[in-house]
Amino acid sequence: MDRFLEMQVFSNVVDAGSFTGAAEVLGMSKAAVSRHVAELEERLGVRLLHRTTRKLSPTTEGEIFHARCRELLANLLEAEAEITARSGEAAGLLKLNVPVSFGLMHLAGLWPAFLARHPKLLLDITLSDRVVDLVEEGFDCAVRIGQLPASTLISRRLASTRLVLCASPGYLGRRGEPVRPSDLPAHDVISYSLFSSGENWSFTGPGGEEESVKVLPRVRTNSGDTCRAAALQDQGLILQPSFIVGPDLAAGTLVETMAGYRSRELGIYVVYPSRRFVAPKLRLLVDFMVEAFAKPAWE
């Protein structure tokens, strides 16, 4: 009787939502998968799955057991990976979630160097600005930008970036430059819709005073790249992180405005689930990213 095999089969059935899906993942027959689950239920003396002709779902006991199975199987994989790393090269799959703009501009160029260092590692990279549930969605780690809420996640700071109010010389030549936050409602604004503060933009003034103003966007978008593109086409003011607009400020194609006022500084972090043991392959990735951003390009 292989209890770990039973747990692996059961976990895959729940994750796939069917015996057929689990059989495909595991390379088993559907009959073998069904038999393993039936034997597990018989041994435990409880029903773990609701079965109908259209749907398969865990019972309350099945949900509890599934969570514990995932934890135990993860610990087993970590133990194996740790021994592998001590005796040779780290190997296996790393699943990452990273923000779209940051992932394209500052991470995509790093992955070849990481893979060259560790040729037995594989990367599965999802670009999304949505805050994912690392454990529930099976990610090893994520890059997050902003103030981190209290959680059980472990975090390593990679760098910082500041929000910059800027526009093109063409727009400023046509509409003039704002001098203080209260000037902003009279300007064309391209607003990033995923800011936690919405359309309330906050600044620290020359004397350290805090000022907040509600902007009236002409364009609202969930893409920082779209904000930047619109600004470069003389469409209005944007408030975007320096990691996006830094090259444009250096080239003069965008100009920082409202001298004497500064917006927020944001931390850039790599976060991963809190576990007693961190898989060596994940530790290698985190250390690589910390090293890569020791001197951020946008600064």
Here the CATH number for the domain that contains residue 232 is 3.40.190.290
Last residue of a domain, one of 38, 58, 86: 86
Banded model confidence at residue 80, pLDDT cuts 50, 70, 90:
low
Q: Which residue has the higher pLDDT, 147 or 244?
A: 244
Which residues neighbour 50 within 8 Å (Cβ) at sequence distance 6 or greater? 56, 57, 58, 59
Mean pLDDT, residues 216-233: 95
**Continuous H helices in the chain:** 3-16, 19-26, 30-44, 60-87, 100-102, 111-117, 134-137, 169-175, 224-232, 242-251, 280-292
Can you give the pTM of this predicted structure? 0.70
Q: What is the pLDDT of residue 153?
A: 86
Question: Within a domain: residue 97?
Answer: no
SS3 at position 153: coil
pLDDT per position as a tens digit, 147-176: 888 778 889 999 999 999 999 999 999 999
Report the distance separating Cα 38 and Cα 230, nearest Å.
Answer: 59
Banded model confidence at residue 87, pLDDT cuts 50, 70, 90:
low
Residue 16 is part of which domain span? 3-86
pLDDT per position as a tens digit, 186-212: 999 999 998 888 899 999 998 888 999
Number of domains in the chain: 2
Question: Within a domain: residue 247?
Answer: yes
Radius of gyration of the chain (CA): 25
pLDDT per position as a tens digit, 254-274: 999 998 899 989 999 999 987
Question: Within a domain: residue 282?
Answer: no
Look at residue 226 and tell me whether its pLDDT is greater than 90: yes
Tokens found for residue 10 = 């059961």
Question: Within a domain: residue 250?
Answer: yes
Query: Do 261 and 166 share a structural domain?
Result: yes
Report the distance separating Cα 180 and Cα 183, nearest Å.
Answer: 6
Domain CATH number, residue 33 = 1.10.10.10
Q: Are 204 and 262 in contact (CB under 8 A)?
A: yes
CA contacts within 13 A on the Cβ side of 42:
7
